[in-house]
Structure 1
């Protein structure tokens, strides 16, 4: 039905009312003036609008965080390489464990170093660089003062870090102190190792240093007052027996019964009697200010690491002359020396230990020490 006076008939198209077409009236309307309005926009469901807009935002976010195909390829190859290497390590570990069960290795394996002396540095260089042991060696050796004895010197891996010649310096507290080494005596059980150390000393200190000695023998027999005549010289070729200033003068000797500093790095693992050695070193170290500086490797904090060390100990000792599963803490405790400082690295397998002689305070302790 049409409205009165409008003259406009409603039209239906598919059941919906057609949008009104704005027009201008020429005459007055009984219902008031007619106002022209723009057409209303088609209504949109707000939920539907949000749903339609969501994929655009999600797509942009997912594109920003997506790993490119090249990155996926590199990641896949890396995972494959790591898994393959881990499998190789596990297979090698099982093979070494099986081989260790059939080996009969004596407790004294120092003879292994005689055969490996010339190639020893090449064998251990990579491992020590990876573990940054050169830094640990430097820190330890720079603490050496006065008359120094290095036990288990090996091929002289500590050689570059020594400060030869005494001088006045300043300590960490700003106090003046004597620094540097008045003399250095290198001792090792392997004559071949001692020869390599002697050659390395010439290269490190071409200008020479008189108060240095190299001897092959058991450190438990070293007596300061007899250095350098206390131990037989290592077996060498005839031309090497000639006097060389860089090897040290045979005329000097220590007039006092003690060393000011004793250094040993990675030696307790290859010594037949580590407790007896430490006890002897305590007797020949200056009792008030003397120090015994150790850098050793042994048992870890963790049981699973110790299990690996134990399972491979026999094979490792047979190949490298080193019992790497010894308990350094128990060895130090059994020696009766006083512990100044202990630090551990690499899951607790690397030990930095500073000791000093522990003067007996009672007759009971004296008797225990004598035993």
Structure 2
């Protein structure tokens, strides 16, 4: 690990034309210790970045760079499609000291599990062990000095953070059911006819009634028996998970609150939201838009011996780009909130 704490880090983004790539551009352009030098896009090479990401008008004159013309960087973010990233890692590894992957290709440790959930053989299984999971709340120590980082999926992040305190305390016994809800941006900027406005508007589409891909990530991270489905909802940004878990023992609400506080009391981007009154009594993704927060909460059904854990986040920020920058901050030894302090908006 080279000591880059005292100098500006040169960053590139492969797939900078997509929604996650755009969020990375937005965050890195405002980061005091990062210079964005290579927003890479094969299809848009030579075109202005703010032509695709109009929220960046007046902030940058950068144009997209063709892959072959990209300069060497200190850190390279791979905002590239699942199944394609694993084929390009070796190529980009020689162009940057640090790789932060936002695809699914290096999230799962077992190639057989990857094949089951993504329908393809993993073509670089020998590299899986090199990647540290980019979830600071669980892997902060490993991220210090890590040169290969894999950022979890958006709904997986929300579910892991909602369930982990309960799992770590041994409070769950039996299968956990995770109900995920996601806005249309979760399909990416290249989504097909299924996500045309005429088809998506007004719909609550159960696109994965069972066996959603993030199921494997949640099981891997928590050690729980997990089943997961997902629904597309009438929103652009935002992910929310509602996780129903059978309790291993009788427990009262103050004990559950203590378990969450002990786990997340010092975390800069996890807030415990479980209130009896108010409009936002449990985690709600709407007020998290643009922020790097993940809100987690719970509700107890003592009569049935069940706890409902809820998690919410902005799928493009804490669910992707913001989490990646948080990992970079930790890796470099910078303050963890640097460049990702935005709290979200209300009303919205």
TM-score range, shorter chain: under 0.3
Higher helix share: 1
Q: Which has the higher contact order (CA 8 A, sep 6+)?
A: 2
TM-score scaled to structure 2, two decimals? Answer: 0.26
Higher strand share: 2
Q: Which has the larger radius of gyration?
A: 1
TM-score scaled to structure 1, two decimals? Answer: 0.25
